[in-house]
Amino acid sequence: MTTIPIPRTMAARLRWAVHDGLTVARRDLTHWIRSVEEILGGLLFPVLSVVLFGYVFGSAMVVPGGDYREFLLPGLFGMTMVFGLVITANAVAIDSARGVTDRFRSMPMAGTAVVSGRSVADMVRAALDLTVLVLCGLAVGWRPHGSFAGTMAAIGLLLLLRFALIWIGIYIGLLLRTPESTAALFPLVLPFAMIANTFVAPALMPTWLGYVAEWNPMSATVSATRELFGNPGVGGETWAAQHPLLMAIAWPVLLILIFFPLSVHRFQRLSR
């Protein structure tokens, strides 16, 4: 049997890791593209979110100094990025349950390839989800009023949040290892998305709950994107609420620093 030598120099190892990671990403995206019902289901959620919250609840909401839909859409952008955590965890658990993960571990590939490939594939999906949601927002009257650079920076912050949550999803998926068990994640993620400034200002919540909402990483991203998009926003009393741009970067970076090594370590320690 022919063995593939493991690169020994740092540059060779990096090229090896990138090549293997992109190979895994291509495999994950190919499986996703062939699942038409999964694509349609994933894209339908953003559309329904805009219609449900923008039209059903929008008429009952008032935002001082602005239109509620322009206040709402950045919150929906952030909420979609957060719910992607469940998609990631479920995909990882399915691969584990089918033995795909164990087969990858038996192959002479970079130790980070499986988790990095999953992150690349999920970022492609996240970009597509965000594109659909932005188009839906434009269709219902939402507009970014900031500069082009500010708009691109806001989109970048949303994708940065999604990238950070991908690593949490990978870690949880490797822990659970069965797709059935990941079904319990949705009701756990829902409060994280709701106890934030997504739909209303934290100041309208009970004091303790508003404090939690202002320190929610999602609130930082949503507040920062509202500012960059030039959409109506809400203030706050906490330090986090007063520095949303800084926190929108700090929170995801912190989550990546914690969960990226945890995900790689968990993958490398899985029982065969």
pLDDT digits (tens, 9 = 90+) for 80-138: 899 989 989 998 998 888 888 778 877 777 778 888 999 999 999 999 889 988 988 88
CB atoms within 10 A of CB 158: 25
Percent of the chain with pLDDT over 70: 91
Q: Which residues have a Cβ under 8 Å from the Cβ of 239 and sit 6 or more positions away?
A: none
Residues lower than pLDDT 70 in the chain: 1-8, 10, 57-65, 271-272
| Alpha carbon 206 to its chain's center | 28
Residues 113 and 21: beta-carbon distance below 8 Å: yes
Residues 204 and 235: beta-carbon distance below 8 Å: no
Beta strands in the chain (DSSP E): none
Q: What is the pLDDT of residue 17?
A: 79
pTM: 0.89
Q: What is the pLDDT of residue 1?
A: 38
DSSP letter for 2, please: P
Taking CA atoms, 203 is separated from 14, 132, 237, 258, in Å, by 48, 31, 9, 31
> Domain segments of the chain: what residues?
16-268
**What CA–CA distance (Å, rounded) separates 85 from 168?**
7
Q: What is the pLDDT of residue 3?
A: 46
Q: Copy the structure tokens of residue 178.
A: 């069965």
Q: What is the pLDDT of residue 62?
A: 67
Alpha helices, DSSP H, located in 140-243: 148-176, 185-194, 207-214, 217-229, 239-242
| Alpha carbon 126 to its chain's center | 7
